[in-house]
Chains A and B, each alone.
Chain A
Amino acid sequence: AQKVTQAQTEISVVEKEDVTLDCVYETRDTTYYLFWYKQPPSGELVFLIRRNSFDEQNEISGRYSWNFQKSTSSFNFTITASQVVDSAVYFCALGGGNAGKSTFGDGTTLTVKP
């Protein structure tokens, strides 16, 4: 069975601080995909990034970066110089493999204070 754990339920930081959101996954599949989604207060879930299990290269997109480590089954998300607009619930998800559907973590609520 697939499982995604986001141990941090809530994180609060002050603007311009860096923050890392943790994601640990479990799967028996050798081919799988990892995702991060953002759900701002307005409610609509938005896709941020997808990585496949064969590509452990870290990725950077502006202030966002992702660190994928198969050795620790983790796919962590770092926001550098956080901004108030980053306040949202962030979900990590695991997909592909034999299950077809994706498994979501419970989400981490990030609050960035001015």
Chain B
Amino acid sequence: GAGVSQSPSNKVTEKGKDVELRCDPISGHTALYWYRQSLGQGLEFLIYFQGNSAPDKSGLPSDRFSAERTGGSVSTLTIQRTQQEDSAVYLCASSVDRGYQPQHFGDGTRLSIL
């Protein structure tokens, strides 16, 4: 498809389990962002990838969170030993270039930790 694709759409898991969330950005977009949005809240920045540069991880809330971007395209956000407070919608966005260009968002992954 032409847009940002995220999978799964929904994920329900037990506390303590690890989860992987996937983002497939728009082809040719060099910048990729992960955000977290809790119910009724704003966007919480998590991590930002730009081309081959080292990612900006300043928004990751703890060392249980990590992300990688392989081949400058697909990205995976991993949450280890999930906690109930990790429950949220995780949004991925991509853009043609850095902060100069608008971001195109995926539909998000709704993560629920039981």
Contact = CB atoms under 8 A, between A and B. Distances in A.
A16 interface: no
B90 interface: no
Contact of A44 (B33, B98, B99, B105): B105
Nearest to B4: A44
Nearest to B48: A101
Main secondary structure of the interface of A (DSSP, over half): strand
Interface residues of A, number: 22
Interface in B68-114: 89, 91, 93, 98-108
B100 A101 contact: no
A104 B42 CA distance: 8
B107 A44 contact: yes
Find the residue from A43, A97, A101, A104 having the highest chain B CB count within 10 A: A101
B20 interface: no
A104 B99 contact: no
B105 to A, nearest CB: 4
Contacts of B33: 101-102
Interface string B19-43: 0000000000001010100000111
B56 interface: yes
A33 interface: yes
Contacts of A50: 101-102
A52 to B, nearest CB: 8
Contacts of B43: 91, 104, 107
A33 B100 contact: yes
Given A46-B105, A47-B102, A107-B42, 17 more contacts: A35-B102, A35-B103, A43-B108, A44-B106, A91-B42, A91-B43, A95-B98, A96-B99, A97-B99, A99-B99, A100-B98, A102-B33, A102-B103, A105-B42, A106-B41, A106-B42, A107-B43
5 contacts: A45-B105, A47-B103, A91-B42, A95-B98, A103-B45
Interface of A: 33, 35, 37, 43-47, 50, 91, 95-97, 99-107
